[in-house]
Structure 1
Amino acid sequence: MARSPTRGRSATIIDVAARAGVSPMTVSRVINGRVGVGPETRASVVEAIRALGYSPNVAARSLVTSGELRIGVIYSNPSAAFMSDFLTGVFEEATVRGARLILLKGEAGRPPAQSDLEDFVASGVSGVILAPPLGESPAVLQMLRDAELPVACVGAHGVDGAICVRIDDRRAAYEMTRDLIALGHRRLGFVVGNPDQSASAERLAGFHAAVREAGDVQTMIAQGDFSYASGLVAGEQLLGAPSAPTAIFASNDDMAAAVVSVAHRRHLDVPGQLTVVGFDDTTAAVMLWPPLTTINQPVRKLAAEALGLLVAEIAAPSAPSSDHILEHGIVHRQSTAAPSDA
């Protein structure tokens, strides 16, 4: 039996789909005037909308029909510093291009609720940018594919049918590890990022490649998830080991900052007794003492580039080339030195 909205609340796209016996994506296609819906199905959806009194965001629909460019941005990242740079890049580029941004946030690295995603898709966005880690979320990607929306993913690797904008994570981590080895460090710790993101595996692979090349380096690996809290746990694990590392490379600046905090708590001088380096070059890298040596991942530029490529795809649909790789670099600051026992 088709369900009706709960007394006292407005009908949702899910209610319409249930009454018409179709998926929410089909309702979205009807609302947005997309092809691929048969006449009988379209009529059923229209009748369900009328019967339930469902009203999609009227202001949003008028904006779509008037031709204003509406770009959806879906994000759920535990690093406040990363997201600050990411959103700044998106906002700046949207201002230049006259695009309106529609934001949807998940919590703690998880995708937004399915009902929120369905309503978001139905609101009339022309395309969607996904911040990491959502660019590699199967559920989110499938929903956007079903809705036939162009998608740009920042920081993701090789997502079929989507624009991917990133740096060469493996090369960047390899170069940073080589720098640590060149300083004389032979006991290296590495804090891995979110295991569900390909960038985490790529950075670990770059670290291992440099270590194998050197041949005489001991390593310790700790698992994190790109959050400051996970960096604290990883820092305690690495620095509490019987033969602790003389240098620790964390997969982002938030976790590196947490490792520095653990070192201070243990009365270790950074970099006199412990070298710590990060990845991203966000504000977190310069808001502690000593400021971090880190990989410059141009997050603002990545986000801006993703929006520009997405706008081009919306204007002239094509088969998007998968990976667009931007330059990275190492920013040397005061958190690195030769090991004290060198």
Structure 2
Amino acid sequence: MTRSRGRSRGVTIIDVAKHAGVSPMTVSRVINGDPGVRDEVRARVGEIISALNYTPNLTARSLVTSREIRIGVIYSNPSAAFMSDLLAGVFEEASARAAQLILLKGENGKPPSREAIQGLIDSRVAGMILAPPLGESEVVGQILRAAKLPVAVVGGAARGAICVGIDNRRAAYDMTRHLIALGHRRLGFILGNPDQSASAERLAGFRAAVDEEGDLDVQIVQGDYSYASGLVAGEALLAGAHPPTAIFASNDDMAAAVVSVAHRRHLDVPADLTVTGFDDSTAATTLWPPLTTIRQPVRALAAAALQLLIQDIRAGPVADDDARATILDHQLIERESTATPRSNPLPHPVRTMP
């Protein structure tokens, strides 16, 4: 179990974006004099740049003008917090590696149209980064394989692609063991998007920890990683005669929704209900109480994906059709949403849902 710690570093474009309340891409547009930025936004970003003494990476910017690599990023994720971290990580790495990013967004977890993806390919991108869940979309995969483009997938697995992620099974196992060690015997688990391999891996880790312990009351409900699905799942788990004393949601957005449901039901978190999440996104630290969660280093994953993709582009075509996996470490971050249960009676008979 690891608690978060600060580290010393220089001011980055991400810091400027956070203080100005805009995206890193907007800060870049201001720095580069893009006329498409509103005057009030340009002025606010300029003030923050001055206040933080931010100096753009001029070396990287000069490299971009001399030998630019164009990378497409396709994304469509219902978690705004996750996508903010992912885009920030890939943008920061692109700034340091002479890469220009071209973004293409789908809606509601669905891929963009074939025409839109083909248009991005035709814009002469040298490679593509896919954010979850699109890394495992067969439609997107077919189009990109036909184009013979190098592809990097964040948080998923795809044939012939660079795949960067964490050990989701082990991470979920670690969190479930943590809840059991606190004394919880009635556990709720909220599944993620059923179309993503990470969801199945997290469920497998949860089940492995539960099976080791035995004699637990377990309830499993479906979600899709969105806040809205977390509200529905939270209501389903807390409406029964013997609700869980601890709920582990497969991401922070759904965990935040469960906290909201608990408050609406006049339950104290964590005295009446322990809630944990997954990702350690901004959602984990902006609600009350802050979430105990699994830290998935989303920014580092995105940066590693871009770094490996550029290496592939410069090295030339790779004949290997298998996924090439890079696994980064996860951490269990303990905050204020977890506690020992008030009481520990088990309803009888023990109920385990599939």
Q: Same fold (TM over 0.5)?
A: yes
Map of 1:341 onto structure 2: 343
AA at the equivalent of 1:83: M
Task: Give the alignment's Cα RMSD to 1 decimal.
Answer: 1.4
Q: Distance in 1 between matches of 2:71 and 2:121?
A: 11
* One-letter code aligned to 2:337: S
Could you tell me which amino acid in structure 2 is paired with residue 103 of structure 1? L
Residue of structure 2 in register with 1:332 after alignment? 334
Residue of structure 1 equivalent to 2:278: 279
Q: Deviations over 1:110-143 (max 9, x none)?
A: 0001111111111100000000000000000110
What's the secondary structure of 2:270's corresponding residue?
coil
Q: CA deviation at 1:197?
A: 0.1
Give the match's secondary structure for 1:314: helix
* Contact 2:67-2:98 at 8 Å conserved across structures: no
Render the CA deviation track for 1:118-169: whole Å, top value 9, x for unaligned. Answer: 1111110000000000000000011000000000000003x22000000000
SS of equivalent residue, structure 1 residue 286: helix
Answer 1 or 2: higher relative contact order, Cα 8 Å, separation at least 6.
2
Q: Which residue of 2 aligns with 1:115?
A: 115
Flag the structure with larger Rg: 1
Cα distance in structure 1, aligned partners of 2:180 and 2:319: 43
Aligned to 1:136: 136
Question: Offset of 1:67 from its aligned partner?
Answer: 4.6
The Cα shift of 1:269 comes to 0.4
Name the counterpart of 2:303.
304
C-alpha offsets along residues 264-309 of structure 1, whole Å, 9 cap, x if unaligned?
0000000000000000000000111000000000000000000000
Query: Which residue number corresponds to residue 176 of structure 2?
Result: 177
Distance 1:322 1:218 in 2: 38
Aligned to 1:38: none
Encode CA deviations 1:87-112: one digit per residue, 9 max, x unaligned. 00000000000100000000000000
- Report the TM-score when normalising by structure 2: 0.77
Change over 3 Å in CA distance of 1:329–1:319 after alignment to 2: farther
2:178 counterpart SS class: helix
2:72 counterpart residue number: 72
- 1:156 partnered with 2:141: no
Counterparts of 1:256 and 1:213, CA distance in 2: 24
For 1:256, the equivalent position in structure 2 comes to 255
Cα distance, 1:241 vs. partner?
A: 1.4
Aligned pairs, number: 278
Match of 1:15 in 2: none
Please state whether the residue corresponding to 2:205 is helix, strand or coil: helix
Pairing 1:209-248 to 2, within 5 Å after superposition: 209-248=208-247
For 2:126, the aligned partner's letter is S
Write the deviation string for residues 20-61 of structure 1: whole angstroms up to 9, x where unpaired. Answer: xxxxxxxxxxxxxxxxxxxxxxxxxxxxxxxxxxxxxxxxxx
* Contact kept in structure 1, 2:192 and 2:251, CA below 8 Å: yes
Deviates most, 292-301 or 117-126: 117-126
Deviations 1:63-87 (A, max 9, x none): x9x8520000000000000000000
- Show structure 1 runs of 5+ residues with no match: 1-63
1:323 aligns with 2:322: no
In 2, the alpha carbon distance for the partners of 1:292 and 1:235 equals 15
- Distance in 1, matches of 2:91 and 2:206, equals 34
Displacement of 1:218 in angstroms is 1.1
Instruction: Give per-residue Cα distances to partners, 1:146-203, cap 9 Å, x unaligned.
Output: 000000000003x220000000000000000000000000000000000000000000
Residue identity opposite 1:77 in structure 2: N
1:239, 1:215 → 2: CA distance?
22
- Alignment partner of 2:95: what SS? helix
Partners of 2:289 and 2:337 within 8 A in 1 = yes
Please state whether the residue corresponding to 2:286 is helix, strand or coil. Answer: coil
Partners in 2 of 1:146 and 1:319 — Cα distance?
14
Distance 1:170 1:205 in 2: 6
Q: Find the residue that maps to 2:132 and give its secondary structure.
A: coil
